Amino acid sequence: MAGLAGEVLLVTERTGPLLSVGISGANLPASRAEGYTVDLINLSDGDNGFRVRVLGRRSPGVPHLHDQLDAEALITSSFVSGRLAMSLFPPDLEDWSRALDLLDAGQDICWRDNDHSPVIRIQPCNEEHDTPAVPVEDPSSSCVSVSFP
């Protein structure tokens, strides 16, 4: 997968296909006011869902903040639903591109594992559940972690 564009298809015998979509910088909304979003990833098995959505540029036209993006991680299930606000920078998107390459190769990924960001892990095949798994942790702010399947 080259650059930030492309898609990864995860398939398990039990749950069927799950789709992961990467984005290119050219597709980003100029600002939140434009009213549309771009998903970095959208995983669902029908009952549970995980999505990272770019909402737009934080401060379009302000040179030192122009590349900062507002984003959110959304987790939904019949048991719990949550939203976690995030800020993304160009290096985060470059790391995401590398993570998608690893995911495409069937490897587990860990994205944004630092002291100031939510940690997102994706396991293409969790051995315990024989399905993809997505643990999300917010150690720096809420100290909450959620994992599904």
Q: Write out pLDDT tens, residues 52-101.
A: 999 988 877 777 777 889 999 998 888 888 888 888 988 999 999 999 89
Give the C-alpha separation, 128 to 3, whole Å: 33
Contact in structure between 40 and 72 (CB atoms under 8 Å) = no
Which of the pair, 132 or 94, is modelled with greater confidence?
Answer: 94
Per-residue b/e over 7-27, b at no fewer than 16 CB within 10 Å?
Answer: ebebebeebeebebebbeeee
Report phi then psi at 148, rounded to 5.
-145, 145
Entry pTM? 0.70
| Residue 128 pLDDT | 82
